[in-house]
Amino acid sequence: AVIHLIAMARRSGVPLTLDDFDDVARRTPVLANIRPTGAYLMEDFYYAGGLRALLAQLADLLHLDRPTVSGRTLREAVEGAQTFQDDVIRPRDKPVAAEGGLAVLRGNLAPRGAVIKPLAAEPALLRHTGPAVVFDGYADLLARIDDPDLVVDENSVLVLRGAGPLGGPSMPEHGMLPIPDRLLKRGVRDMVRISDARMSGTSYGACVLHVTPESYAGGPLALVRDGDLITLDVAERKLELHVSGAELAKRRAAWSPPPARYPRGYGALHAAHITQADEGCDFDFLAANGPTPEPDAR
């Protein structure tokens, strides 16, 4: 939803950034005990009271005077809502987590940001340093992830590049990289995984997504090599590549932009005007320069 909300805000002329999401996440408790961050299913959530009950629990954090699509204010929409199962929709004094539904990371690997769902990850991986195992595109990932000769273990950091708005193209949901089969057989159920892709909201794991700028556009992800050490530190909101500035400069000098995929048509239009994930992965010409004027009432 982060990408879509930023795109909608930009079209409406409303300033909204990744930092706004991180700020809200830091002060908003997680109360819905549903997968992938909790124990229950969406059906259980519905019968426990659903969205109205959840919003009622969070009422003091909401702008209750805002109108909803029903024509009523948000206050009117949640008034009288009840919670019927308080282990599914937790009370404020017994949250699933005090904060952390989303975290925005930055560092030399993601200068403009990346996102992770901390509660969907193995807690031990929220602060982790490991060597990179790099895949150039989804086809390369599928071809090699289960190769018995692949140099990888549970401490490795799986890196997928070429899956962003330009490289995908259109930022496919490839961010939940599969764990190598031989590690699964040893009981490994989560690894740090980094990409410029998206993933479904129901997916889980220590998956760092939306790395911006993307590799296809020359972002630092394009310069990562097998064996480079990468540190993820969610508490500090850091994503760092342990390679010197001088070495990165050498790699950048040797890097060449990928050739254009589409010489004409919609593909060429997309490539020329699509924005990066932190700007909504939307056409740049659709962003408003200010509030959109109301239509003439006549």
CA distances, 137 to each of 162, 225, 281 (Å): 5, 14, 19
Residue pointed to by tokens 């320069």: 289
Q: What angle do helix axes 2-12 and 18-26 make, rounded to 10 degrees?
A: 120
| 165 closest CA partner among 252, 10, 284, 287 | 284
Pair 135, 225: CB distance under 8 Å: no
215 is catalytic: no
Choose the catalytic residue: 12, 70, 170, 200: 200
| C-alpha–C-alpha distance, residues 212 and 208, integer Å | 11
Taking CA 118 as the corner, what is the angle to CA 128 and CA 237, rounded to the nearest 5 degrees?
60
Sign of the Cα pseudo-torsion (59, 63, 67, 73, in order): positive
Half-sphere exposure of 117 (CA within 13 A, CB side): 21
Residue 269's φ and ψ, nearest 5 degrees, are -60, -45
Catalytically active residues are 200
